[in-house]
Structure 1
């Protein structure tokens, strides 16, 4: 983001922001899907007992928590990107409106 052209507008590529937010959301959904699939596999391994099961359960639990945390962070980043894009667009609309009123707005009556 940068101020553009001396007008006070914020230069912001909304298309790139939208694509980044969508990518974050897709990756988050993939992570959540992978964790769900792995949880299903773990449930099917219910016959495992003892040290072999414990050796698998603990890393899986940590990994699934980490993956869910990362997915939540990616979704939060997507929201922040969308908010920044929306704020930049609102700011630019306000700047353009103010400039339009200054240039073509009502003028004081001329004194003859």
Structure 2
């Protein structure tokens, strides 16, 4: 199983010259992959008519999202672990202060 912190660097080295190398292109790739993941959720739930169950297509698309996210972090020069840790801290703080995790104001 790949270490997500190293995945972006490993893929970048392995496919050097064959991947987009700027933040904008990788962000667009990520948006596209998230769209593909959502299509799998829609299919798995029959457009919301049944409970979600993990499908092979969902697993594949989730893996694509993670790989492209790792590549985006690599090209941007940020640590996924640090970003996730900061978000977890922010969620804990919001929950302690407001009794909710999200940033809703109502």
Q: Into which bin does the TM-score normalised by the smaller protein fall?
A: 0.3 to 0.5
Between Structure 1 and Structure 2, whose CA radius of gyration is higher? Answer: 1
TM-score (normalised: structure 1): 0.35
TM-score w.r.t. length of structure 2: 0.36
Query: Which one scores higher on RCO, CA 8 angstroms, separation ≥ 6?
Result: 1
